[in-house]
Structure 1
Amino acid sequence: MASRKRIYDTEFRGEAVRIVTETGKPIPEVAENLDIHPGTLHSWVSRARRNGSPSSGAPGGPPTPPGRGGGGGPGPLPLARWPSAGERAR
């Protein structure tokens, strides 16, 4: 038995994400009620939190200033520099 890829319209995706974000219900519960895979709903919710839309790759708000990670956090962590081979030998 082959499974078919189901295609959900933007309105359905947005409503599913809204249920999770506004009610605080767990993703697995909402996914079961809507008869969709929890991983699918999780990706929509993650994308909406990142971009402002569950089906769009475009950001939903104003651009984030450089050096800021968005989401109110302290920003990106500085990258550590690995010592060179000569430095490790000391």
Structure 2
Amino acid sequence: MQQKKRKTYPREFKIETVKLATEGDAKVPEIARDLGIHPNTLYNWINEFSAKPEAAFPGKGHSSESDAETIRQLKRENERLKMER
């Protein structure tokens, strides 16, 4: 049995779609249908963008600043523990 690959959308597409849904007169289900996406997907994008517009939709391999800082701290601690050992 073959698995379906999940379709991915570029960050710019998501941002423009969210703006269309929040600033335009059209309703979310209409926009979603016109663009070929599920309405729940668009609602999720709206929620994510509303929470943190500058950090929304980072893409694969792009961590947020807080994630990057946590990784740096863990690497430093790992080095310290190696030295102690």
TM > 0.5 fold call: yes
Structure 1: any 5+ residue segments left out of the alignment? 59-90
- The number of aligned residues is 58
SS at match of 1:3: coil
Deviation at 1:49, TM superposition (A): 1.1
Partner amino acid, structure 2, of 1:26: K
- Which amino acid letter does the alignment assign opposite residue 31 of structure 1? A
User: What is aligned with 1:65?
Assistant: none
TM-score normalised according to structure 1 size? 0.55
Shift of 1:50: 1.2
More helix, by proportion: 2
Give the equivalent residue in structure 2 for 1:82: none
More RCO (CA 8 Å, sep 6+): 2
1:31 equivalent to 2:25? Answer no
Give the gaps of 5 or more residues in structure 2. Answer: 65-85
Q: What fraction of aligned residue pairs are identical, expressed as a percent? A: 29
Quote the residue 1:15 is aligned against: 16
- Mapping of 1:24-63 within 5 angstroms? 24-53=25-54, 54-56=56-58
4+ aligned runs moved over 3 Å, structure 1: none
Give the CA RMSD over aligned residues. Answer: 2.1
The 1-side partners of 2:4 and 2:38 are apart by 13
